[in-house]
Chains A and B, each alone.
Chain A
Amino acid sequence: MSGTVTIYSAEGNPFPSSRITLARDETRHLDIRSLIPSEESAHTLGGIAIEFTGQSMGIAAQVTISGFHGFGNIDAPVFGDMMYKSNDADAVWWEPKGADSHLILGNSSADPVHAQITFASGEVGEVDLAPHATIVQYVPHAHQADEAPGHALNSIHVVGTGMPGTLRVTGWVSSVKDGYLDTIRSYDPASSTESAVYANGLHFSDCANHLVIKNLTANPIIVSGAIYPIGIKASAKALPIPEKSLPPGASSELQIPAAGDSESLDGAAIKLESSGSIASIIASYSNHDPANQITRSVPFKDVGDLSTLTGAYPWRLDGNYSSKIFVTNVGKSRASIGAKILPVSGPEYFIDTKYLEVGETAVFDIRKLRDEQVPDPKGVKLPKDVQLGQFVWNTIFGNGKDKLIGRNEVVDRSSGISASFSCPYCNCPYSTSSASINPFTPVVVINGVASIVATAGTSDPCGRGSPGGYTITPSSWSIYTAGYFSLSSNQPTSTMQGMANGNSSFYTPFNGILYAFDGYSSCFVYSQPTLNPGGTGCSGTSILGINPSQGMVGQTLTGVMISGCGFSTTKTNNTIQVGQSGQGISAMVTSVSTDGTTLTTSINIMPTASPGTYPVTVTVTKPDGSKITSTDVVYFNVTAPTATVAQRTSGQVSSDDAALSAYRSAEGTTTLGAIIGTGPVPGCFVGNEVVGTIAPSNYTGTVIMHRLITMDATYTNYTQIAGVTNEDDTSAPALRDDNPQSGGSAGKVYDLDAPGLSPQQVDTNTYRYRGNFYGYAALPNGTRISPYYGYYVRVSCRKTASGFQFINDVPNDNQIGPGTTPISWNAQ
């Protein structure tokens, strides 16, 4: 992704822009001074803007001004205007005696902005900001001192004109004498979504700590809270913060509860709740280490927005820097997170599921992971020399109600730099969109055990890559058919123990969650699909399935896979039975997998087998000669091919009809239709070829074309001599071609016929035949596989001294065609 970085002077004049291109997930440190021409370096710098085309928060940045006053640094995030809901800002901070505070007000827009600043001293300042201009404003000391003697609080309330987000407010409080420098962090009250604020990664040891709050409302409020030490496993262990009443608009310092050894609180998280409404409080926590002149300030967050369920932080390990990421569950129920570390060089480092109890904080010390070469679950280690990268964390498996806060603390003890990075990454957490278990088909011997791990797959609503395979700790397992095996729960790895021969499906209740980005600044939960990862456990000797599970009559299937467990690895010790003996289906094992879970077989379905379902069993002969036969309900389906029927009544017999020569010998011709046959029995005949087209066309089994006389009649002149109804008239094999592949037929079978008359003597009689037939295709066992094809035949013949003659004294006589004919002498 590419972007344009523009630095503005304090007056709002842009310096020439710089183009930067960042690889996917790349983190880069830019020296702001290097972005402006050397001849312009005398200017006082003001703001910075990054323009890019792409997804919201596709590029995020943070500015750190280090070496401020020679010992400290201040930091400010670079957000888009859309991250703000208003142009107002509030801030409260600890202001040590002798310290001075300054606000930095910036205009991010191309229009003038006016800001009205209400100071804690009661004074009101009016500031006009030219487009893109930046102004530093001294903050007068507050009149009302805090209860703590010798120290003070300060605060501001700023109201700006212009579009939301165009007025940026930050600042610093410093005391050169004490080596104190802290960032003044302002908050947009309109962005608040709840009456509580949170922070984590707090430091307590060897320092002076101050937790200050301000009531933003016109009503008195009571503020309470708790501190959650790192590693806390139950909310009961949280340290309560004594309640404090605050008059309208007042600021105050809160008493931090004693915890014995203050080091035990290092890295702790904090939650402050107001009795007032949403956006009723803001807070600030500062921690000053005078020996090292380090002031650690921690941003407080409102976690009502789902964007707080994810974070992406740049980290650095160059020099003496360290980077620690703190993620705290500040919600009311257990939560879980997953993460990845993206070093600038080297593969992605995967951090598997970390469950966090209420109040629990997970700490990820990047330097420690690197220096101690701690491998991730996939064996990946951070490169020993890596110095820069990103840390990305996400809530996973949540329900949209989780509350988490994360922060990356970058510290350089030698230079006294402490900065806090808490940029939202895109602003939607990963969706949990799939879940599965590994192995999908765990196998155990009876009384044996196997391990199962359930994992979830994620997808990123913001369109970036998301790691998959987060381990799920199942709360319980549901086994469809009990008695074959048991499963343990509440551990990342579950244990399956075999109890009896058989198999069953199983799953653990588990819901996914799908987030969507609103395309502007928020994300929302739009679905919580039931994922229930599970599989099928196989215990002892058992059949799980057969694939393919069906074949056609007359087919021989090779490579049929029978999956299951407990098969003998000696091929000949496995016997497969499909149906019962004599039903025309035989199976032979051709190979077996080395783990005894798959039999490769050949199944022969005789042409005489009937379509239907047949049970499949495997009998395993054990080394001691004993046998065990599977009892699972697994079926093999025998199907019949299908056929369509057509009739040819003109032209020549099909060249791929194997009965052609027989027809030729019988009729002395291969012509179809009304013919004078000259074979062994000459006469007037109507040759026809009924064609059965088989699907699938590569079917190799036998298909027989059958024929039935539904009704017919023979006449001498006008007198009926005989007639039959519903009489089978199937041709002899010589006139049929029952092989769908003979002669390259590609799925065609044939039946040749030539009904007709052969008057035995020369006379003047007209001998007539009227018949209705239907033909159909059937398997050798009689199973019909085609629709009926109905047709009629009409013939009138006379034997004369010169031979046989068709007589056409009746219209449309001596014809064959689809449908039926009246069987009266005149076909009327």
Chain B
Amino acid sequence: MRGIRISALVFGLLALCGLGAAGQECESLQGATSQELTSYLNKIAPDRNNAECVTRAINVLASERYEPAITALAKLLDFRRPPIGREKEGLYLHAQGLWEIYPAVNALSLIGEAALPKMLDVIKNDTRSATKRENAVFVWMQVHRNDAPLGVALLKKESDRTDEAAVRQRLNWAISQALNWCNPSEETRCRAAAAKGPS
């Protein structure tokens, strides 16, 4: 019991150290414009020290649905935010999906259709991070949430017209991922769309 308490204390101290640095950086972003926040995200390389600050910046842009930030946010699609508040004690008030864990996913989902070209670009061309591509698929399907089969069909269409085998492979993988975001009532149509593309 004692050992556990010590361990927790050490973790807490480390976290406080990180917060100190992040706190300073975030203070400089207080009152920043969306453009300034976008610029900040374009330049930042997320790490443990700036993670909270990056999260805050993304959340502000999300609430603004700031379309010029799409590229910057796409770059951070695989940025996983640190636990905040009582999450540090293990309390999660919301179901923890990709939109909760990856703040850029939520931001791009909120921006909506304007983010789709960039998401397609990530799906097709990002070779470094499967998480990015997976999250891009989620954003893609979130935007098409009211017509998930269409989201699948559009990926299929893109796949069909792509000559590049590697890109097609990534698109086909994306299609298989996208099927996970079809509700049961749409599954048949989603699978048909995955096979045929847009009707």
Contact = CB atoms under 8 A, between A and B. Distances in A.
**A and B associate in one complex:** yes
Interface of A: 655-658, 660-667, 677, 679-681, 683, 685, 687, 709, 714, 716, 721-722, 729, 731-735, 739, 742-744, 752-761, 763-764, 767, 769, 771
A573 B51 CA distance: 58
What DSSP secondary structure best describes chain A's contact surface? mixed
A270 B92 CA distance: 104
A658 B151 CA distance: 14
B86 interface: yes
A756 B89 contact: no
B181 interface: yes
Nearest to B8: A761
A734 B109 contact: yes
A667 B185 CA distance: 19
Nearest to B182: A661
23 contacts: A658-B146, A660-B183, A664-B180, A665-B180, A666-B97, A679-B95, A680-B97, A683-B90, A683-B92, A685-B92, A709-B93, A714-B91, A722-B86, A722-B89, A732-B94, A733-B110, A734-B97, A734-B142, A742-B145, A755-B91, A757-B91, A758-B91, A767-B90
Contact of B96 (A681, A687, A763, A769): A681
Given A660-B183, A666-B97, A743-B185, 10 more contacts: A657-B183, A661-B182, A663-B97, A665-B181, A679-B95, A681-B92, A685-B95, A732-B100, A755-B94, A756-B92
Contacts of A722: 85-86, 89, 91
A687 B185 CA distance: 20
A673 B139 CA distance: 28
A714 B86 contact: yes
Contacts of A752: 95
B106 interface: yes
A769 B184 CA distance: 32
A744 B185 CA distance: 10
Interface in B149-199: 180-186
Interface of B: 1, 4, 85-86, 89-101, 106, 109-110, 141-142, 145-146, 148, 180-186
Contact of A679 (B86, B96, B106, B185): B96
Given A660-B183, A665-B180, A763-B4, A732 B99 contact: yes
Contacts of B99: 662, 732-735
Contacts of A662: 95, 97, 99, 142, 181
Contacts of A729: 93-94
Contacts of A754: 92, 94-95
Given A658-B183, A742-B146, A755 B98 contact: no
A615 B142 CA distance: 39
A731 B94 contact: yes
A758 B101 CA distance: 14
Nearest to A797: B90
Contacts of A744: 185
A165 B93 CA distance: 97
Contacts of A743: 183, 185-186
Contacts of A658: 145-146, 183
B24 to A, nearest CB: 25
State the 7 A-B residue pairs at the shortest beta-carbon distance, nearest first. A681-B96, A666-B97, A666-B95, A754-B95, A734-B99, A759-B90, A661-B181
Contacts of B92: 681, 683, 685, 754-758
A662 B184 CA distance: 12
Contacts of A680: 96-98, 101
A680 B92 CA distance: 12
Contact of B95 (A677, A714, A763): A677
B97 A655 contact: no
A392 to B, nearest CB: 69
A733 to B, nearest CB: 6
Contacts of B182: 661
Contacts of B94: 729, 731-732, 735, 753-755
A683 B185 CA distance: 28
A749 to B, nearest CB: 13
Contacts of B184: 655, 660
A467 to B, nearest CB: 61
Given A658-B146, A658-B183, A752-B95, A666 B100 contact: yes
A760 B15 CA distance: 15
B150 to A, nearest CB: 13
Contacts of B109: 733-734
A679 B106 CA distance: 17
B4 A655 contact: no
Contacts of B86: 714, 721-722
A735 B98 CA distance: 11
Which of A663, A722, A732, A771 is packed against the most chain B CB atoms within 10 Å? Answer: A732
Given A655-B184, A656-B185, A742-B146, A760 B97 contact: no
Contacts of B4: 761, 763
Contact of A665 (B90, B93, B98): B98
B97 to A, nearest CB: 4
Nearest to A709: B93
A759 B109 CA distance: 29
B182 to A, nearest CB: 6
A262 B184 CA distance: 104
A281 to B, nearest CB: 94
Contact of A734 (B85, B93, B106): B106
A531 to B, nearest CB: 56
Nearest to A722: B86
